[in-house]
Amino acid sequence: MVHAVLIAGPASGQGKTMLTCALARRLRAQGQRVRAFKVGPDFIDPGHLAAATDAPVRNLDLWMVGETECRRELARAAAQADWLLVEGAMGLYDGSPSAADLAARLGLPVLLVIDAGAMAETFGALALGLQMHGHARGVRVIGALANRVASPGHARMLAGSLPPGLPWWGHLSRASRTLPERHLGLVQVQELQASLPGVWAALDAALVLEAHALTSLTAWQPPPLEAEPMIEPLLAGQRIAVARDAAFSFCYEANLDMLRAMGAEVQPFSPLADEAIPADADAIYLPGGYPELHAAALSECQRFMHSLREHHAMGRPIVAECGGMMVCARELRTLDGTHHPMAGLLDAVAVMGERLAGIGLHHWDTPLGSLRGHVFHYGRLEAGPALRPSHLTQPRRYGGPEAVYQQGRLTASFFHGYFASAPKLVAELFLRR
């Protein structure tokens, strides 16, 4: 028997990640096996959820991942866990598809979390509105929980504002230690290892659950496991070096799983540690991350930079996403105006900005398939006169297209692809000829 719940709110910044982590830790302390998921494209929140559950975390998205694969992911986890906690994205009804769409399609009950730090009885009106708005769409809201509650009296006021039929689950009081943020979201979990025990303790102390909260939830029936799709060994025998460290951490684990499923051997290495790319690597994958935070250190990593240039000069494939592409530019200009030399594979200057430059779901349509994914970046590329996009991605709903640059066997873009959506195209990008 497994229980499942999707944790959502009216907007970003309500405390969804904190609540999901706090619930996971509380359940694990009770001897429960917990698996967590994140709705939509996201690299940072899954790291915190993985630390809280000590288990792999996968992204669920009806469009990017696909409904069938979302069902498979949940069914696989249900076979190994007592609880499935699914953290929503943005507001419950934001986006197309939204977290509400996922909940309705997969039969996941919804627990609301609302930042009540600056409200009283309006809490009930907001929770009721979120519940009522989903009735016709098949969204089942099972309760509400408040975040940033100032006192027991404040909690009683909030609980009393809820209408009959919308249970009060409890609250998170103002935690003395919370998860810190920066421009792309929360600070990455690997940067918080020393402080995590204190964060978990503070969250546990802040979480006050009603006695009925966890026991009132009925069992969730996972969908039957469908036959796994056949994956062609298109990369059989290929060795792919993957940059994995604090500067290159925005990588779907599902992407690495797909490379392995196609027969590739994945070899992690750390550019920040100035590790040279393995000489036997047939291809390189430079995921996104925070190169701008480590620009000075990266510019001094001569072994890494030399091996990257050498690999490119030999005509071997490189796939560089977002921050990975910025490292392939001639220079990276940080917010303070400092120019940091980079690999110089692209005639361009990568520039960090203070405002969001691109966000949303995108797809790159090619004769070998349509690669689905997303963009979310503050940087831009100031291209030299000879550098022109080879392709453009198509935004799913809003925003403009993103450039895809191809210089020799280098493919670079701010676009993050979800590899399982177009295996033949991905194999072509990585295959050493």
Least confident of 188-192, 286-290, 347-351, 405-409: 188-192
Is the pLDDT at 178 greater than 70? The verdict is no
Across 272-300, average pLDDT: 96
* Distance in angstroms (rounded) separating the CA atoms of residues 294 and 9: 33
Which of 70, 301, 322, 328 does the annotation list as catalytic?
322
Across 282-292, average pLDDT: 95
Q: Is residue 118 part of a domain?
A: yes
**What pLDDT band is residue 107 in, cutting at 50, 70 and 90?**
very high
- Strand duo 318-321 + 283-286: pairing: parallel
Whether residues 174 and 287 share a domain: the answer is no
- Could you report the per-residue pLDDT of 219-238, keeping only the tens digit for each? 999 877 777 889 999 999 99
* Catalytic status, residue 322: yes
Whether residues 261 and 203 share a domain: the answer is no
Across 195-203, average pLDDT: 83
Q: Is residue 141 part of a domain?
A: yes
DSSP state of 14: S
The percent of residues in the chain predicted with pLDDT above 70, rounded, is: 95
Across 149-156, average pLDDT: 96
Is the pLDDT at 183 greater than 80? The verdict is no
* Distance in angstroms (rounded) separating the CA atoms of residues 208 and 151: 11
Q: What CATH number corresponds to the domain at position 342?
A: 3.40.50.880
**What pLDDT band is residue 193 in, cutting at 50, 70 and 90?**
low
Q: Is residue 222 part of a domain?
A: no
Whether residues 262 and 396 share a domain: the answer is yes
**What pLDDT band is residue 196 in, cutting at 50, 70 and 90?**
confident
Whether residues 202 and 329 share a domain: the answer is no
Q: Is residue 312 part of a domain?
A: yes
Across 126-136, average pLDDT: 96
Q: Of 133, 129, 207, give the one whose Cα is nearest residue 161.
A: 129
Across 109-129, average pLDDT: 97
The last residue of one of the domains, among 189, 209, 229, is: 209
> Widest CA span of the chain, in angstroms?
69
Domains: count for the chain: 2
Across 7-16, average pLDDT: 96
Q: Is residue 216 part of a domain?
A: no
Whether residues 268 and 153 share a domain: the answer is no
The percent of residues in the chain predicted with pLDDT above 90, rounded, is: 85
Is the pLDDT at 347 greater than 90? The verdict is yes
Is the pLDDT at 194 greater than 70? The verdict is no
Whether residues 85 and 173 share a domain: the answer is yes
Whether residues 297 and 354 share a domain: the answer is yes
Q: What CATH number corresponds to the domain at position 53?
A: 3.40.50.300
CA atoms lying within 13 Å on the CB side of residue 110: 35
Whether residues 75 and 166 share a domain: the answer is yes
- Can you give the pLDDT at residue 1? 86
Q: Which helix (H) or strand (E) element contains residue 203?
A: helix 196-206
Residue ranges making up the domain that contains 417? 239-430
Across 118-137, average pLDDT: 96
Across 112-130, average pLDDT: 97
**What pLDDT band is residue 174 in, cutting at 50, 70 and 90?**
confident
Whether residues 349 and 426 share a domain: the answer is yes
Q: Is residue 37 part of a domain?
A: yes
- Could you report the per-residue pLDDT of 15-61, keeping only the tens digit for each? 999 999 999 999 999 999 999 999 999 998 999 999 999 999 999 99
- Can you give the pLDDT at residue 312? 98
- C-beta of residue 207 within 8 angstroms of C-beta of residue 183: no
* Distance in angstroms (rounded) separating the CA atoms of residues 75 and 374: 25
Whether residues 178 and 66 share a domain: the answer is yes
- Greater confidence (179 vs 33) lies with 33
- Could you report the per-residue pLDDT of 67-104, keeping only the tens digit for each? 999 999 999 999 999 999 999 999 999 999 999 999 99
Whether residues 44 and 174 share a domain: the answer is yes
In whole numbers, what is the pLDDT of the chain averaged over residues?
94
